[in-house]
Chain A
Amino acid sequence: MLTEKEVNTTSINEALPRVSEWKRFQRVFFQRKLVLFGLIILALLVITAIFAPLLAPYDPNQISMKESLQQPSWDHLLGTDLQGRDTLSRLIYGSRTALMVGFGSVLFAGVIGITLGLVAGYFGGVTNMIIMRIMDALMGFPMILLALVISAVLGSGIHNVIIALSVATLPGYARVMHGLTLTLRENDYILAERAMGAGDIRTMLRHILPNGLPPMIVLITLQLGALILAEAGLSFLGFGIRPPDAAWGAMVADGRRYLLLYPLLSLAPGIAIMLVVFAFNLVGDGLRDALDPRLRGLL
């Protein structure tokens, strides 16, 4: 016969098998086919960007007037543009631009935005008022418009595009982090931490920030897609990176004039943009559902 105490412990152990957070995350995240599809595309994208020189059949900037505007053939799988540059090679090198701008802006805007949101939410009062009203003002501009004006001010070049897009997306991170901080701040463990004499910086960095991180990771993943879309838009309008460098948006714009006879010049880079943004959105949504389903509709 088991004693009453033993019965209780066993039943509790059976009822609540200890599942690690990581295992639960894996189960939800990798179970969905669409998420896996997104992950595969992103993996291919990263590989393409890293090994671009090995994968590209030609030098993306090699001008050859003899081969101007060729239809797809075995020599040039996706044809060539007006200057005779190989479309496939430019597409492959364009992945570098897309990824650099995406990750660069997320890093830049993420760090500043999260810090601003954290500080504003934690201290409240006048600090909160000043920071959040500036963020509201930045949010008043359509993102692409703000990026357009700033990149016009800074001039073309990949660094300037990154700065422009960072400023334009900054308020998004700040707002979400601000909201998270406001709720997290009210938790008992924060009070306990304070009672033990922890300072503001320690409380913010050791307790609020780590707890706010899961939603921020989701936001960052979704933002990567939006940033690549915005970068393509800027370079389509002619504000992105400097020409000879390959950028998908600029390729779409260049191919516009030959749409009827050489549709691939514009269509191929567009498909690349769409596929990559699509993949980031799939993975972002997958992460959200796996990390915290309550965020549905919020992010």
Chain B
Amino acid sequence: MTTYIIRRLFMAIIVLIIVTLIVFFVMQLLPGDPLVIFLGQQAGMGSISQEQLDQLYVRYGLDKPLMVQYWNWVSGIVRGDMGESIYYHEDVGKLLLERFPVTLDLGIKSFILYNVLGITMGMVVALRRGKWIDTFATVLSYIGVSIPVFWLGLLMIYFFGLRLDWFPIAGYTLPTEDLWKNLHQSFLPVICLSLMGWAVIARQTRSSVLEVITQDYIRTAWSKGLTERAIVIKHILKNSLIPVITLMGIGLGLMFGGQVFIEQVFAIPGVGRLLVGSVFAQDYQVVQSATLTIATIVILVNLIVDISYGWLDPRIRYG
């Protein structure tokens, strides 16, 4: 097990290094000089002298060779310094830190919601195969993976916000400030974010449970006279969740993608919204750090998934 973990960890570190390289060099390909674009937005280029421009280059470290810039960026991140946003004139780490709790709050709520709903529905549907609920779940899971999340958001806003006026259509309050308001405001966004994960998890759980219930040990459990409850929980659920766990990591990536849209649609000040705004403003310090942060989280979660997978299923460890 230890060698398995060390091997996985080593791979994850290599992948992370490649991720930093991709992010950095892709950003270097941006057309135009970010500093010039920014100054153009501010006051017009005429008002600034070449000398001042040079000073700004030095200040943001843009005068150094690429490899040095890359090294400064990466070593800065390791020290917790992500540089300064050219557009917001603020520390990138601080910008991200302000918005991260928002994204995380929505993310955790949706993660819990879609896993609970997905696993429960997948189980029920597999055990009641062919009944109306099976058809309902199949259709729902197709809709879940086909519906554009931003459009679903607008649909929710239209019906539950504008028409029925049950929920606010925009804004966000931290749960620490006002928990009730937070739950009220995040209800629609969380539902939108969960639908795809719900569909994917339910489908996987269904097919996984259907496979497990044909196994010999389940027949043995029945013939031992165990109660249905014990068989479902202890034998079927536990064994069929193994393949579902891998999907949890993938679901997380999908959800981060979805947050980019949902934060835009519901005007929520999270990392996704910051990212889209920064891409438009060509504020590459923010874009590269935000992208890197999200990629790191996804890779770390997948690492945890891989390790727990190996722990649950010994065949993987030695494979």
- In the assembled complex, the CB of B166 is this many whole angstroms from the nearest CB of chain A, namely 15
- In the assembled complex, the CB of A120 is this many whole angstroms from the nearest CB of chain B, namely 15
Interchain CA distance A282-B207 in the complex, whole Å: 17
Interface 9-mer from B108-116, B150-158, B183-191 = B150-158
A143 at the interface (CB under 8 A from B): yes
A233 touches B146 (CB 8 A): no
Residues of B within 8 A of A153 (CB): 26-27, 29-31
Residue from the list B11, B146, B155, B295 in contact with A141, Cβ < 8 A: B295
8 Å CB interface, A119-176 against B:
133-134, 136-138, 140-145, 148-150, 152-153, 155
Residues of A within 8 A of B101 (CB): none
A274 touches B143 (CB 8 A): yes
- In the assembled complex, the CB of B249 is this many whole angstroms from the nearest CB of chain A, namely 10
Interchain CA distance A59-B188 in the complex, whole Å: 37
Interchain CA distance A248-B296 in the complex, whole Å: 32
Residues of A within 8 A of B256 (CB): 142, 145
Residues of B within 8 A of A278 (CB): 142-143, 146
Residues of B within 8 A of A149 (CB): 23, 26-27, 279, 287, 291
Q: A24-42 CB contact bits vs B (8 Å, 1 = yes)?
A: 0000000000000000000
Residues of B within 8 A of A140 (CB): 15-16, 19, 295-296, 298-299, 302
Q: What number of residue pairs across chains A and B have CB atoms under 8 A from each other?
A: 139
Interface 9-mer from B48-56, B68-76, B229-237, B257-265 = B257-265
Interchain CA distance A137-B291 in the complex, whole Å: 12
B148 at the interface (CB under 8 A from A): yes
- Nearest A residue to B207, CB-CB: A297
Sort chain A's interface into a size bin: 35 or more
A252 touches B291 (CB 8 A): no
B22 touches A138 (CB 8 A): yes
Interchain CA distance A54-B154 in the complex, whole Å: 32
Q: B277-294 CB contact bits vs A (8 Å, 1 = yes)?
A: 001101000010001001
B162 touches A142 (CB 8 A): no
Residue from the list B11, B243, B282, B302 in contact with A133, Cβ < 8 A: B11
Residues of A within 8 A of B253 (CB): 141-143
Contact residues of B: prevailing secondary structure: helix
A136 touches B260 (CB 8 A): no
Q: A54-80 CB contact bits vs B (8 Å, 1 = yes)?
A: 000000000000000000000000000
Residues of A within 8 A of B248 (CB): none
A274 touches B147 (CB 8 A): yes
- Nearest B residue to A134, CB-CB: B18
A153-B29, A259-B157, A267-B155 known; 19 other A-B pairs, CB under 8 Å?
A140-B302, A142-B257, A148-B275, A148-B279, A149-B26, A149-B287, A153-B30, A153-B31, A229-B148, A237-B276, A252-B150, A256-B154, A260-B158, A263-B158, A267-B151, A267-B154, A273-B151, A277-B147, A278-B146
Which residues of chain A have a CB within 8 Å of any CB of chain B?
133-134, 136-138, 140-145, 148-150, 152-153, 155, 225, 229, 232-233, 236-239, 249, 252-253, 256, 259-260, 263, 266-267, 270, 273-275, 277-278, 281-282, 296-297
Closest 6 CB pairs of A and B: A270-B151, A137-B18, A142-B257, A144-B257, A278-B146, A277-B146
